[in-house]
Chain A
């Protein structure tokens, strides 16, 4: 059976600090505007008059949680399937890599990916993305994001082992449904997590 490297993320521990994102930028020397790992803040709720004291507003159903998201190295990776230059490959260990020599920078993978993982390198005219720190993985070390997390909210390993350890959840709102691409991803939901496709909140940091 082929192995599959995967990320684990604990939303009950993540406080949205973005150390993972900046550690990744530092490791990969990424300019502003290009991010292999991003941290989303999702939340919602309302403010309503207190039933006993109508002059006082109270939060109702208020919730918020953060999600740290990178390339999911999907088992059914749409980027691999759509690339007209056959520039994206899945290694034997499941890690999805872009071959920059073959890439023609057409952006198809970016449009096909529901996680927004592929990024455009304007200098080279090719697509680039999270490579799971293959250089470190191949030496038996942890990816930079995992080793960076002050809350110990990230982990990595073989997908089946992570599932045995942490369970089988691989999506909550606002992530896309897991059956779309079969992401190599396991997560512990936040206590206020909302189900995929049925979220009542919004991504707070989307436009600012």
Chain B
């Protein structure tokens, strides 16, 4: 039976209004055209397609709503009779450096294949061998699925939640996502995970030492200032993969304006491919050692007159803790950073030779980097979060800030030090435009429990019943329900193999999702949610633009909005369903539109973005007041985007920390002293209080768990151990974390390859395209080998976010989900050390030993006859 008729059968089982039915079936013929493979024969032939698509229908701005790290790009869908024919990107205005089109990436261009995927969840389901209390719990992940009605599903969930809370209390429930957050708050709370994710250790350390976390607080200059740099250092960043959209173009603009680029990275990545003038192949998880070797060079070679490498003025005025003369009151002067680097008291100078043994660059390269960065007038010293996603790396952001402070590349035109990544890649500074608030009432409950368990301990806590609540504070917990309300928590947290065990231990697992992703696969009840394309609207933007996306299609199959699901559960639990659901979405969107603002040309004052008339309000069917603004609501609706034009010398430029450099007393950092704290007791205390590990008040080197040193059985004598390779796990173009992993076009374009150097491959007898078996201390995956000189020998990499496909017999994950390999550790601030992982590699077979994953059967849970 063809996919379309499967879908049609599903549809005819549902009572539908005729109008919706027509819309759905129209949308489904679009599905057939877009889902590829077998179903392609149901779609129009390309030439007919081209003819039909040329002049019909409406172009509607379509949401691209993912946590992608990209630019927040414009998509438009051509909708003809309810069918999405094509997707395009920004053509609303001519393209220029000052007013760029906000162009999307491959994932956005495949969005229709995601939304209309044949593997969308169609209706609520329960696991065949599930019963209240768990049933055959060990069958989670391998059981059959049964279709159930929404009423049955919601009743079962409500009954299980009540039973579990009655038996175990609210601490019996672990809420991993957030779409049912209001329900659990009113219900008395639930256990929730905590811990930094993408940020690594920048999340807490960045701010507390006096720099910034790189998202809420950016300390890199804006994209126009970037073009004034003589040198741009990208340390552990690959915006071409992790910040897609325009961000890489902004770096290219800077290159074409004359900036030289240095990349410090284990991988000669695709960003380096077009930008790098020089590449320094540092080992993963050793950046801190490299930076210390550079600091040693700066300190020992600096001569304020003949060879000025250090900005003493900045260090003396704007920082504390660099040397014995600038220590805070009460601190031992011997504990200063300079004497640590020189080894004055610990007997170990952090020379380039010392650093070289760890980081893999030669002493000469380390000196060159220090001299070049120290002596070049205008340097943007940029890093991404990746080097901080390393076990025990809590002092790395502190070290990076210190290097920036020493070389003085802070607070000047063309110079800055900070994180440039995610949606803020290549463009720092406060937003120039933004949406208003949705206006939902806050769901509050003072009596709700607030128990939190760190991501690194989460699954272990489910299995052992214990977790760390702080320093010397281990507590008991008995989790019996895992609620995946809109998350990919099982696939996307370290220690997935333990996570699966945990899922098979508890009495109840619920997942709300679009697909049978990893969470859903190991659940008892699965509910289908709508995508943003099936909802009234969505607003999203970035520093200099705002997008209003509108509904593209009616909800597919029986999918429901998250707010509807929450409200229906609330009803069954005797809670305030209206409060949980929030305002009608139209009203929320209207509130965001009415509150949308844009900076005036003076760069200080805000004005309304939109003029809204009484007719607009009536047309939207919402409550509100007419208002005056820069453009009309109808213009914004038609264009779908407003971009703030930029030019050099306008009032929107951003030189990060200029006010601080000019007058640190009047513009203090948010540290205890108001200065940048190279000696930072608050950082030491914060890490101590988390209760996992300790750091010094200055950025000393902490040997990471599963870093380079741990690839040795005997580090002193350099005897390699059982897991001799370093794996780092990168953001991968196929996906936005785990989202899009199931899209066949993207699977074909980006094959989830295992990247390694030819010297290593040859030694292991592996050829390009062979299937490698990669094992860590925590799990095993198999993937095709991609041999390239672009990666440093001894180092291998694999994209994060693939949906685990674990063989029940062998335990081998053939999808190559990196959290199968990444172990669960709790270090420092409870971040996840995805870039510190030791592996061993063997040949599993030739290319035929594993089919390319774009040819894999899609996860369609119920195959109907």
Contacts and interface: CB of A to CB of B under 8 A. Distances in A.
Interface of A: 12-19, 21-23, 25-33, 35, 43-47, 50, 52-53, 56-59, 62, 64-66, 100, 121, 123-124, 128, 131, 133-136, 139, 144, 147-152, 190, 204-208
Contacts of A135: 50-51, 53-54
Contacts of B789: 43-47, 59, 62
B273 A208 contact: no
Contact of A208 (B88, B753, B757): B753
Interface in B733-763: 733, 744-751, 753, 757-759
B237 interface: no
Contact of B86 (A26, A43, A52, A150): A26
Given A32-B36, A45-B789, A50 B244 contact: no
Interface of B: 33-34, 36-37, 40-41, 43-47, 49-51, 53-54, 86-89, 91, 95, 103-110, 112-113, 240, 244-246, 248-249, 252, 268, 270-271, 273-274, 279, 281, 356, 360-364, 733, 744-751, 753, 757-759, 768-769, 784-790, 792-793, 847, 854-855
A134 B855 CA distance: 31
Given A30-B46, A100-B45, A150-B245, A53 B362 contact: yes
**Chain A binding surface, main DSSP class:** loop
B643 to A, nearest CB: 15
Contacts of B245: 150
A163 to B, nearest CB: 22
Given A25-B110, A147-B89, 7 more contacts: A19-B103, A22-B109, A22-B110, A28-B46, A59-B268, A100-B47, A208-B784
A53 B364 contact: yes
B793 A17 contact: no
Nearest to B783: A208
14 contacts: A17-B106, A22-B106, A22-B749, A23-B89, A32-B37, A32-B855, A56-B356, A100-B45, A131-B46, A134-B50, A139-B54, A144-B88, A148-B103, A148-B104
B44 A152 contact: no
Contacts of B252: 13, 151
Given A148-B89, A152-B249, A17 B733 contact: yes
Contacts of B281: 59
A43 B788 contact: yes
B745 A32 contact: yes
A52 B362 contact: yes
B88 A43 contact: no
Contacts of A26: 34, 86-87, 109-110, 112-113, 745
Given A14-B274, A18-B733, A190-B274, A29 B43 contact: yes
Contact of B88 (A33, A46, A124, A147): A147
A150 B273 contact: no
Contacts of A18: 106, 733, 749-750
Contacts of A43: 788-790
B751 A208 contact: yes
B757 A47 contact: yes
Contact of B50 (A64, A121, A131, A148): A131
B60 to A, nearest CB: 15
A64 B356 contact: no
A47 B759 contact: yes
Contacts of A204: 786-788
Given A21-B106, A123-B40, A150 B790 contact: no
A50 B749 CA distance: 36
Contacts of B112: 26
Contacts of B109: 19, 22-23, 25-26, 148
Nearest to B784: A208
Nearest to A141: B91
Given A45-B789, A52-B362, A56-B356, A28 B49 contact: yes
Interface centre among A25, A30, A124 (most CB of B within 10 A): A25
A12 to B, nearest CB: 6
A64 B89 CA distance: 28
Among B50, B252, B789, the most chain A Cβ lie within 10 Å of the Cβ of: B789
